[in-house]
Structure 1
């Protein structure tokens, strides 16, 4: 395989729509409030994509270091474990994507808090620190002596960074404030993002157990993980509906509900899947359902 194809595979482009959903939703809420700015959207989106790719690179390297990417693992072949990319080359990629996300994120904060008449040093500093934490969280999920992903804490991290911070943080960049409705949408995207991670961990439950990776499915068992997954998907549906009921006043704005049958079908497939390796196609299905829902939600917000 050509080297550029190897790197594209390691970047796991199929995860990028899910990373975009939080920024799209937060920006849609800002549009509903009449505060949308195209330059903030572009740089927030670019930063989110770089953070996702950083996370993918770090996960590839970290799991190879800890033995989670063994012959028992299901899903796509990992670049470092297969020898297609060396440890040193992947470290360089992590450095450049991490540095790139820091640069784009810093410029994003400049646009949000210093391009107006009154600079906001406090907001700039707080969100810059959150951005640095996001970079460290992306790397520390599987890399290091005690990666938190190996102790079942990845779900909380994903909910915080892909949900609350992605949606509420991007909304704050536009408006400088937060509302209850924003937190509902942020929780929804967070729940669905955790759902994708949970599916990944359910699929890899046997290889993770052998590698000593104590993900939540390993801790609770496959059957309980399915109940947990149902909670995540349904909670996301209810949380987004909570936000819509507060903000939307026209019937056509509830067009995003057209995607809800996709989530129901998804849950049925998960429930009927007895063998963990067969869950792999459902990761993409849930990620795309989340993205399509965020697109329709954004369209509804712009209509309003």
Structure 2
């Protein structure tokens, strides 16, 4: 493989999305470890499975947007590899099958190791795993991709919040408590905020190509209000968790991300061009990861 082709594949993998993808897995592991359920093998397999799923989602997004015409000349975000011809549609389709297969193998190994001889739970997690693979692909691929209909936010909340955090915790503990919904909601809402920055950045090009994301449906002004709602609600749910668990001063370390959250919120309000907004995708993803690390450190 030539150096230019290798570079194109690395670009298609969009590795800058991995910190956000890993955040929910790490939060679930921190919560489990705080309850004395940690297992390094489960963590490793969880991260590996998430890596394959996130890369699968990124490749499917590249492939689907090129086929649908969303990645046209007027698109304002970073260029994609299929749309620019760096990778052919046939090559990308083959990569989707390979990545889906790797995610399935890793996921099955994770489930079998975590839930030995518990066939009810095993089948449940297998269904969830197939759902995660289908969700990664159907975001932009197929006749009716849900990402184009404005349902991307809901699926991100479900998979980056509840499935990612609570599902990971369950693999360690084989039980769950309702209060864990609160930090899981924070992780999910912060992840939706990353998607919202992306969709506000691309609002004009998406509108012209028929991609009806939440910002396209709401308009830019209301999408900014929606962004503030996501960020403030995300902070609030973790504050409620801290109050319920009577955190000592060290337990509130996660609030150190508050200035970064407000920097992101202000940027979405004041920055108007794609070039100005693009860095705040990475900034919000890293803020989410920092929240998870600080929250987990405080728990331990």
Alignment of 1:282 onto 2:280? yes
Cα RMSD after superposing both structures: 1.2
Query: Could you tell me how far 1:248 is from its partner in structure 2?
Result: 5.9
Alignment of 1:70 onto 2:68? no
Partner residue in 2 for 1:214: 212
- 1:241-288, CA deviations, whole angstroms, 9 ceiling, x for partnerless residues? 222333464321221211121101211121112335521111111000
Partner residue in 1 for 2:114: 112
- Mapped to 2, the partners of 1:77 and 1:124 lie a distance apart of 40
Confirm or deny: 8 A CA contact 1:159 1:194 kept in the other structure: yes
- Mapped to 2, the partners of 1:85 and 1:248 lie a distance apart of 53
Partner residue in 1 for 2:258: 260
Alignment of 1:190 onto 2:188? yes
Task: Please identify runs of 4+ aligned residues in structure 1 that moved more than 4 A.
Answer: none
Confirm or deny: 8 A CA contact 2:77 2:274 kept in the other structure: no
Q: For 1:142, what is the secondary structure of its paired residue?
A: coil
Counterpart pick for 1:224 among 217, 222, 225 = 222
- 1:93-133, CA deviations, whole angstroms, 9 ceiling, x for partnerless residues? 1111111111111111111111xxxx211111001101100
- Mapped to 2, the partners of 1:248 and 1:68 lie a distance apart of 48
Q: For 1:177, what is the secondary structure of its paired residue?
A: coil
Counterpart pick for 2:12 among 10, 13, 17 = 10
- 1:110-165, CA deviations, whole angstroms, 9 ceiling, x for partnerless residues? 11111xxxx21111100110110010011001001111111101111111011110
Alignment of 1:165 onto 2:163? yes
Q: For 2:256, what is the secondary structure of its paired residue?
A: helix
Partner residue in 2 for 1:233: 231
Structure 1 residues 246 and 76: CA distance shift in structure 2, 3 A: same
Structure 1 residues 60 and 197: CA distance shift in structure 2, 3 A: same
Give the TM-score normalised by structure 2: 0.96
Q: For 2:83, what is the secondary structure of its paired residue?
A: helix
Aligned residues: 298
Query: Could you tell me how far 1:21 is from its partner in structure 2?
Result: 0.4
Structure 1 residues 248 and 23: CA distance shift in structure 2, 3 A: farther
Q: For 1:56, what is the secondary structure of its paired residue?
A: helix
Query: Could you tell me how far 1:27 is from its partner in structure 2?
Result: 0.6
- Mapped to 1, the partners of 2:94 and 2:156 lie a distance apart of 24
Partner residue in 2 for 1:269: 267
Structure 1 residues 248 and 293: CA distance shift in structure 2, 3 A: farther
Partner residue in 2 for 1:56: 58
Give the TM-score normalised by structure 1: 0.95
Q: For 2:29, what is the secondary structure of its paired residue?
A: helix
- 1:149-195, CA deviations, whole angstroms, 9 ceiling, x for partnerless residues? 11101111111011110000000101111112211111111101111
Confirm or deny: 8 A CA contact 1:255 1:296 kept in the other structure: yes
Partner residue in 2 for 1:93: 95
- Mapped to 1, the partners of 2:46 and 2:237 lie a distance apart of 23
Runs (5+) with no aligned partner, structure 2: none
Partner residue in 2 for 1:201: 199
